[in-house]
Structure 1
């Protein structure tokens, strides 16, 4: 290896996949040096765990709590008062989802960590758009509430929100509240997934929901399942959809499993365990992949 991956020229985006993603079923994974803690395996990290005792907040389009793939919510809220001159405020609301996107993400998390506690905060209205003020209000509320994990399958390209988002991401990190953020589906600069204080996730195109890879050339740090994912949708339906939005909740679910076994882990430690348990790291040391 002539130079580390993080210093090489960036690879071209693979046709047919969202930006920053990798076609791992067709494209050879990059070589990189592994500094490994011998004790960390996938079995050690999450074997036997179901996510019990871990609180996850989804900032999204809302969640349909009645969907069978979701399995109920601890609480459902929305950001109100945005856009009419009033200061945005987080208030309780009916556990519904007018778009389907948040329900899809919630179902993915539940499929991996069935015993996890899920709370929904609606900050998007139609699955694609929402204000920066609503995002900041929802994220600030989630951080202050002390959730273990926050799933952000969304981002903003508006640079005026960068300082406030950066401050909130850092505050979350040091409060042991870890943000898992999806990379943008297009090759554009957006936030907060590009921050080092969050776990950034893009997609791979393999079908196993427990397979994820470390990316030695960030900004996207991990690849998880994100192509033709079976997800919950509006009206109690189940569809297949693709995008980095659905890769992030796979990693959120795995993080919930790890935290349910080791609740005192800091974000730094949790990110380190994710790295050490990634499929392209454990297999380099001869460990067998253990499906849980």
Structure 2
């Protein structure tokens, strides 16, 4: 078949719409693009995760910590933080399941709302929801990969290119250890890591309200769009606020991945990414694309 237009991955970047984080999708202005899929029969949302609640999936939230007492969290398996070791280097140690900033609690609450049966572990690498060292991120991510988690939620990134090589190595290591990294795109149109790596699942926002609606993005670097605008999220002190950002889109996909692994526990990262692609709301299944 002769292409009728330039393929999405060869086009200029989409415009950055006000009110939606960079790399996101403003559905009121631009509908999700219909995408012609090479057919793989039988993969539907029902097949992918119907009847699952996340039980059996081990998820690590690498962030600012998690307030385990929040009613939307309902406890965590364990809590850790990156600290200075005896020799001056960084190491990972157990800590109280708390969150001095709120960002990690918000992400964990999204995951729990979608996959209530999943096991959640908190790993604090950020201090106030915005700042933290690249070295702490590398140390924490290496520990989480070696600990054997199925899924690692990374609603964070670094713009410092000095950490690119280390993070790229860890992303590849995770991929071959059957540990899938779900990484939020930066909220600004800048280059950062690790969400731009092909071995991770990269997520930006859309502005629809359904937490289970997500779209495949045929024009990466962000591969998927999930709910990330005016999201009701858990906040320390038992509160709930509404917040916008790709940070909150990523845990929606993490939760969905937990459901899929709960039902299909032997899936590898590339199989899981393929299922996400086929079950997205704008891909072709049986000749019909599901676009709102």
Same fold, TM-score > 0.5, yes or no: yes
* Structure 2 residue aligned with 1:280: 282
Aligned length: 288
How far off is 1:282 after superposition?
4.7
- 2:246 is matched with which residue: 244, 247, 261? 244
* Structure 1 residue aligned with 2:106: 104
What is the rounded CA distance, in whole Å, between the counterparts of 1:238 and 1:85 in structure 2?
41
Is the 1:51–1:257 contact (alpha carbons within 8 Å) kept by the matching residues of 2?
yes
* Structure 2 residue aligned with 1:124: 126
Is the 2:84–2:91 contact (alpha carbons within 8 Å) kept by the matching residues of 1?
yes
SS in 2 for 1:279: coil
What is the rounded CA distance, in whole Å, between the counterparts of 1:224 and 1:273 in structure 2?
15
C-alpha deviations, 1:54-108, integer Å up to 9, x for none? 00001000000000001110000000018x9711100000000000000000000
- 2:41 is matched with which residue: 38, 61, 66? 38
Is the 2:159–2:191 contact (alpha carbons within 8 Å) kept by the matching residues of 1?
yes
For structure 2, which runs of at least 5 residues remain unmatched after alignment?
none
- 2:229 is matched with which residue: 227, 230, 237? 227
The question of 1:74 aligning with 2:112 is answered no
TM-score by length of structure 2 reads 0.96
What is the rounded CA distance, in whole Å, between the counterparts of 2:132 and 2:24 in structure 1?
25
The runs of at least 4 consecutive aligned structure 1 residues that moved more than 6 Å come to none
For structure 1, which runs of at least 5 residues remain unmatched after alignment?
none
What is the rounded CA distance, in whole Å, between the counterparts of 1:160 and 1:110 in structure 2?
34
- 1:12 is matched with which residue: 4, 10, 15? 15
How far off is 1:146 after superposition?
0.6
Is the 2:36–2:284 contact (alpha carbons within 8 Å) kept by the matching residues of 1?
no
Is the 2:34–2:283 contact (alpha carbons within 8 Å) kept by the matching residues of 1?
no
* Structure 2 residue aligned with 1:54: 57
SS in 1 for 2:79: strand
How far off is 1:15 after superposition?
1.6
How far off is 1:283 after superposition?
5.9
C-alpha deviations, 1:145-178, integer Å up to 9, x for none? 0100000000000000000000000000000000
TM-score by length of structure 1 reads 0.96
What is the rounded CA distance, in whole Å, between the counterparts of 1:13 and 1:287 in structure 2?
25
The question of 1:22 aligning with 2:25 is answered yes
* Structure 1 residue aligned with 2:141: 139
Is the 1:21–1:203 contact (alpha carbons within 8 Å) kept by the matching residues of 2?
yes
What is the rounded CA distance, in whole Å, between the counterparts of 1:246 and 1:98 in structure 2?
18
Query: What is the 5 A alignment of 1:82-231?
Result: 86-231=88-233
